[in-house]
Structures are given as C-alpha cells and as structure tokens.
C-alpha cells in the first residue's frame, strides 16, 4: 500500500471487526472511503504520512456501522417536517398552549397536524399520566382553534385515539347523524348529547381503505419538497448520531419516497445508505400489477444503484399490527376494544400467490410483511407454491415483521432460503399488554425467537420499525427481552443469544439482507469504511450499561457523519 493513499487512521482501540472469526484488532486505516488495512497499532500507524489524519481511540470500542432492516427513516423525516411536536407535554392545557403558539404564526384555515400525544415511541400510561386523566376532546381544542382545523393522530405503535377539533370534523362531514362505526373506524360521542366528541379509534394508516381516512388524507396539506427534504436530512443525522449507517426501506414505501431519496442522492446529501423496495398496491387489478412489474427492470435481482441508494424488489403487507387487532392469528385474541378477533387479511391468498409468482417470473425479490402466526403460514404457503414453479432458493425472499413463527415455519424458511427481518423491541412495547394479555397461551414465550432462527441456519436480521431506533437500546433489549410497561423479563430459551450474535444481527446479517455483504456489515479490507466509536465495551460491560452506551463518532465512507461534542 502507498502511504499517501492512507487518509485516516484510528488506533489504540478495541475494534470488533465482525468478520467470519469475529476478530478483534487495535487499529485500522482508511483510504478513499474504504478500509485499507486492519491490525496492530504499530503496523497501521506505519502507513501514515504527513497528510494522514490520526485518531487516538484511547481504548474505546469500534464496531461496524449498524444496519437497520426496518428503519422507516423516510417516514420519520416526513413526520418531522409536517407535524407540530407534542412530546413531553403532560396535560391538555399544555397541548392547547403549544397549538395556540402555532396558530399565531399561520393564516386562518390552515391545517395543524401534530405528533401523537405522549412519549414516543411507546406512548405508555395515557391518559392516566395526564393531569386531567382523560383525552382531549374537540371542545378542548375549539377553545383555542375555531378557525384552523386541528388533527392529532393515533400513534402507529399503539391504538390511542386520534383527535380532531370541530372545524376538522366539519370538513370531514362528521356530524351527529354520521354512522358511528364504519370500515374499522369508531367515532366516540358525548354520552348525553350524542355529538361526536372529536375522538376516533381506527382512524390510522392501517385502515387506509376507510373512506373517512382517505378523505382526511386528501384534506391535509402537502408541504413543499424542500421542507420534506430538510426533515429527512435531519432524521438521517439523528440516525447517524445513533450509529446507523444503512437501512432497508422495504415497507410502507411509495414512489414519492424514492423521489425524496433520489433528491438527496443527487445532491450528495444522503448520510445513510438505503436499499429501497416498492410496496405493491394490492387494490389494483392483476392486469395493472403485471403491467407495472414489467416496467421494473431496474429493481430486479439484487437491485440497481450505487453505494448510497439501491432499488430492488417488491413488498406486500398481508396483515397489520397485533396491538390494533389486525394480525392474522390461528387462534382468536382480544382486540383494542376488548372483543375477540382473528385479524384482518389485507389481500386474499389467491391474489397473493398470483402477485408472488409474477414477482418470481420478473426476477423481483418478494417481501411479505406478516404480523400473526397464520399470516406467516399463508406467506410461506405462497413462497412454497411459487418455488415449485420458479426457484426462489437463492433469491433471499423476505418475511418482514415476523413475531410468532412456529417451528415448522422456521424449518420451511431454512429450506426455501427465506430471510427474516424482525424486531426484538416489539416485545418491549407489546409484551405484557399484547402478547401475554391479549394473545395468551405460549405466544409470549416464543415471540421473536432469535435462538431458534439462528440454530436453524436462517438468515435473520434486526430492525426497529422506526421505534427505539437507537442500536444501543435495541442491542440491550435483544439480550434482556424486557417488557417496557412492567420491567419484567420475558426471556425464554428460544430467545437467548450472545452479545456477539446480537451484534451480527445488526451488522453483517443486515448487509446480507440488503445484498451489500461484499461492501458493508464488517470491518474488513476493501469494504466501505462505515464504523461507530462507542464509549463502552459492549462485549464485556455489565449488561444494563449497554443501553446507556454513547456513540462518540459515526463514520460513513470514511467521512465523519457524527461526532459527539
């Protein structure tokens, strides 16, 4: 190696390479955005010349950049750009004050859309933790906003109500005579007068086919592209600060989301590498879907793009979240209203088979989002049927969100070469309330069974669904499996993994899901120089210190994307 090509050296550290042998090094050299050499302090520092930047790690730990296989980073940026934050507010009065401040800066008639009420991402304890011990009503909001429609959405991680003021109700056409329940949306009313009180259950994107939800989306303003781009840029910096350097945007993705990514890519403002897959609109006819797929030559195989943005594959969401009562389960469970349900199948099994076979014939990697155990059965039945006609064994077809696989499901994934993206944080947010109380049986004991996946030889990778996106929290919880409401451990033998395995799930395994394992996921010569410097040794520190570990620096392609001041 020629010394002058060595741009940066990091030395005197504990470098967890996450290579095949999980080697640990002292130093590394970066040249032209890639790892040039990894080894001992003396041999690496000997590569420096007068133009080389040398960074003394002072014993700190270095890991590969974290790869989130379900980050919803784009959606986080859009929310950031379009909503008034209510985080940290503990009363209806505080919410009214925050909205009133916004009203003073906008013209009459302009919509105000806020973030959900409560502490993101779990929204525990509401409304009991409010000073008023209740949810706001339209009449509360009317006191400060009679000339601007106000919309407080449901958090997608928990079925708290959406809330609108009277002006917004008027624009939606929701009056006293409006049907209280339709297409999964329930309108709450004043018990004495029967008037809608502004609170809605089910008015959320998982009921996107509801006419009321559709109408609401048409009424909400569309901010200019520049505003959304700034929101996504800010979210990328947040993710960099947490140590995330790459992600798989393979769910709830729209063509306009790719436009946003392309805008950032074209101006060299992408700071997180993204692999993007297209969500299929299953309401369209098979003829329309087939015609559309034939135009996706750029998304075939392992994807098309460069080291920053890649497009490949298609996605179908077969059901919805368990906490909303939408996961398709083999046994009845309790929905948010306390009523029995077996979930909602978003697309018929027959149509799903037709779509998946079209994907295979067009060399498009298929992703199916599954929440319930029956949804998993259906997805694998479809994959198996397709494989009989067009082999998918080396195509890395994906099951997303999967939480409750049977042992038979796990074996079938191994046989078909299906890869799995899941999220141990589901258990933190839903363990006691949903898995134990609503599902019952042994669902909680075998939820997100990393041990079983790994032992069966299935490629499984960590995601966060955009909630608790911070890798240090997620690593900790993947090892502890704590319920966030009670603090109780939900660990069972099916879930137990080592720290080394937890790190692989979040790095090299994610790279393989993204078809980027030749460039990302480990610190090895020739790979892109994505790394994270931590202030604690996550391999040896006390377990609970992992979630308190701080990111000191994140590098993407050898450039510093974040540095703790």
Q: H or E stretch including 279?
A: strand 273-279
Assess if residue 492 is contained within a domain. Answer: yes
Sign of CA dihedral 46, 47, 51, 57: negative
Domain of 174, in residue numbers: 84-152+160-201
Residues 272 and 175 reside in one and the same domain: no
Q: H or E stretch including 75?
A: helix 73-82
Residues 238 and 131 reside in one and the same domain: no
With contact defined as beta carbons under 8 Å apart, do 302 and 515 qualify? yes
* Closest to 421 in 3D by CA, of 515, 506, 316: 506
With contact defined as beta carbons under 8 Å apart, do 203 and 152 qualify? no
With contact defined as beta carbons under 8 Å apart, do 362 and 354 qualify? no
What is the distance between the alpha carbons of residues 133 and 122, in angstroms, rounded to a whole number?
18
| pLDDT of the residue at 146 | 92
Largest CA distance in the chain: 82
Preceding amide of 121 cis, omega within 30: yes
Beta bridge partners of residue 562, listed in sequence order: 554
Beta bridge partners of residue 61, listed in sequence order: 14, 534
What is the model's pTM?
0.96
Assess if residue 533 is contained within a domain. Answer: no
Residues 387 and 472 reside in one and the same domain: yes
Residues 99 and 188 reside in one and the same domain: yes
Residues 238 and 187 reside in one and the same domain: no
| DSSP state, residue 206 | G
Assess if residue 346 is contained within a domain. Answer: yes
Residues 114 and 260 reside in one and the same domain: no
Q: H or E stretch including 381?
A: helix 373-389
What is the distance between the alpha carbons of residues 238 and 241, in angstroms, rounded to a whole number?
5
- Find the CATH number of the domain harbouring 117: 3.10.310.70
What is the distance between the alpha carbons of residues 464 and 534, in angstroms, rounded to a whole number?
20
- Find the CATH number of the domain harbouring 416: 3.20.20.140
Residues 346 and 463 reside in one and the same domain: yes
Assess if residue 220 is contained within a domain. Answer: no
Residues 346 and 379 reside in one and the same domain: yes
Assess if residue 543 is contained within a domain. Answer: no
With contact defined as beta carbons under 8 Å apart, do 126 and 134 qualify? no
What's the structural domain count of the chain? 2
* Closest to 249 in 3D by CA, of 120, 347, 367, 359: 367
Assess if residue 349 is contained within a domain. Answer: yes
Residues 95 and 184 reside in one and the same domain: yes
Which structure tokens are listed for 374? 């029956």
Assess if residue 126 is contained within a domain. Answer: yes
With contact defined as beta carbons under 8 Å apart, do 40 and 25 qualify? yes
Instruction: Render each residue's pLDDT in the chain as its tens digit; 565 residues.
Output: 334 479 999 999 999 999 999 999 999 999 999 999 999 999 999 999 989 999 999 999 999 999 999 999 999 999 999 999 999 999 999 999 999 999 999 999 999 999 999 999 999 999 999 999 999 999 999 999 999 999 999 998 889 999 999 999 999 999 999 988 888 899 999 999 999 999 999 999 888 889 999 999 999 999 999 999 999 999 999 999 999 999 999 998 988 999 999 999 999 999 999 999 999 999 999 999 999 999 999 999 999 999 999 999 999 999 999 999 999 999 999 999 999 999 999 999 999 999 999 999 999 999 999 999 999 999 999 999 999 999 999 999 999 999 999 999 999 999 999 999 999 999 999 999 999 999 999 999 999 999 999 999 999 999 999 999 999 999 999 999 999 999 999 999 999 999 999 999 999 999 999 999 999 999 999 999 999 999 999 999 999 999 999 999 999 999 999 999 8
With contact defined as beta carbons under 8 Å apart, do 172 and 219 qualify? yes
Sign of CA dihedral 77, 78, 81, 86: negative
With contact defined as beta carbons under 8 Å apart, do 473 and 423 qualify? no
SS3 24: strand
* Closest to 316 in 3D by CA, of 370, 394, 276: 370
Residues 181 and 289 reside in one and the same domain: no
Residues 233 and 88 reside in one and the same domain: no
| pLDDT of the residue at 3 | 42
| DSSP state, residue 323 | G
Residues 175 and 232 reside in one and the same domain: no
| pLDDT of the residue at 1 | 39
Torsion of CA 51, 57, 62, 67, to 10 degrees: -60
Sign of CA dihedral 406, 412, 416, 417: positive
């Amino acid at each position: 190696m020629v010394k002058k090509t060595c741009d940066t050296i990091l030395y005197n550290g504990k470098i967890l390479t996450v290579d095949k042998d999980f080697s640990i090094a002292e130093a590394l050299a970066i040249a032209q955005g890639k790892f040039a050499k990894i080894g001992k302090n003396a041999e690496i520092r000997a590569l420096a010349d007068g133009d080389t930047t040398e960074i003394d790690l002072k014993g700190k730990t270095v890991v590969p950049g974290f790869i989130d296989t379900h980050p919803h980073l784009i959606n986080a940026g859009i929310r950031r750009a379009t909503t008034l934050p209510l985080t940290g507010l503990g009363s209806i009065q505080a919410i009214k004050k925050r909205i009133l401040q916004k009203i003073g800066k906008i013209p009459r008639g302009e919509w105000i859309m806020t973030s959900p009420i409560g502490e993101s991402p779990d929204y525990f304890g509401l409304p009991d933790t409010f000073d008023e011990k209740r949810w706001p009503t339209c009449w509360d909001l009317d006191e400060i906003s009679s000339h601007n429609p106000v919309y407080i959405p449901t958090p997608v991680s928990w079925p708290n109500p959406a809330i609108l003021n009277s002006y917004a109700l008027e624009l939606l056409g929701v009056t006293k005579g409006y049907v209280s329940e339709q297409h999964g949306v329930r309108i709450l009313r004043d018990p004495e007068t029967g008037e809608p009180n502004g609170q809605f259950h089910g008015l959320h994107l998982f009921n996107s086919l509801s006419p009321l939800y559709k109408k609401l989306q048409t009424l909400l303003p569309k901010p200019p592209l520049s505003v959304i781009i700034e929101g996504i840029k800010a979210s990328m910096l947040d993710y960099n600060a947490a140590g995330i350097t790459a992600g798989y945007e393979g769910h709830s993705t729209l063509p306009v989301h790719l436009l946003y990514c392309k805008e950032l890519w074209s101006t060299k403002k992408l700071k997180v590498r993204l692999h993007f897959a297209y969500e299929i609109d299953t309401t369209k006819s098979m003829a329309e879907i087939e015609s559309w797929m034939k135009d996706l030559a750029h998304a075939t195989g392992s994807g098309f793009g460069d080291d920053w943005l890649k497009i490949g594959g298609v996605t179908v969401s077969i059901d919805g979240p368990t906490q909303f009562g939408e996961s398709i389960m083999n046994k009845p469970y309790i929905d948010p209203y306390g009523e029995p349900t077996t979930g909602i199948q978003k697309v018929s099994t027959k149509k799903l088979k037709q779509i998946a076979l079209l994907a295979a014939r067009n060399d498009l990697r298929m992703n199916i989002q599954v929440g319930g155990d029956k949804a998993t059965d259906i997805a694998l039945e479809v994959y198996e049927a397709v494989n009989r006609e067009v082999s998918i064994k080396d195509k890395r077809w994906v099951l997303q969100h999967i939480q409750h696989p049977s042992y038979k499901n796990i074996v079938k994934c191994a046989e078909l070469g299906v890869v799995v993206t899941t999220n141990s944080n589901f258990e933190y947010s839903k363990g006691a309330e949903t898995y134990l109380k609503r599902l019952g049986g042994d669902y909680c004991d075998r939820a997100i069974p990393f041990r079983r996946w790994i032992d069966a030889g299935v490629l499984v990778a960590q995601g966060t669904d955009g909630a608790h996106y911070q890798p240090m929290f997620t690593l900790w919880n993947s090892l502890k499996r704590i319920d966030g409401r009670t603090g109780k451990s939900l660990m069972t033998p099916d879930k137990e993994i080592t720290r080394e395995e937890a790190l692989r799930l979040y790095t090299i395994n994610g790279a393989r899901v993204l078809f980027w394992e030749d460039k990302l996921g480990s610190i090895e010569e020739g790979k892109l120089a994505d790394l994270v410097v931590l202030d604690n040794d996550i391999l040896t520190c006390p377990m609970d210190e992992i979630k308190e570990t701080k990111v000191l620096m994140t590098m993407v392609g050898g450039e510093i994307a974040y540095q703790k001041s």
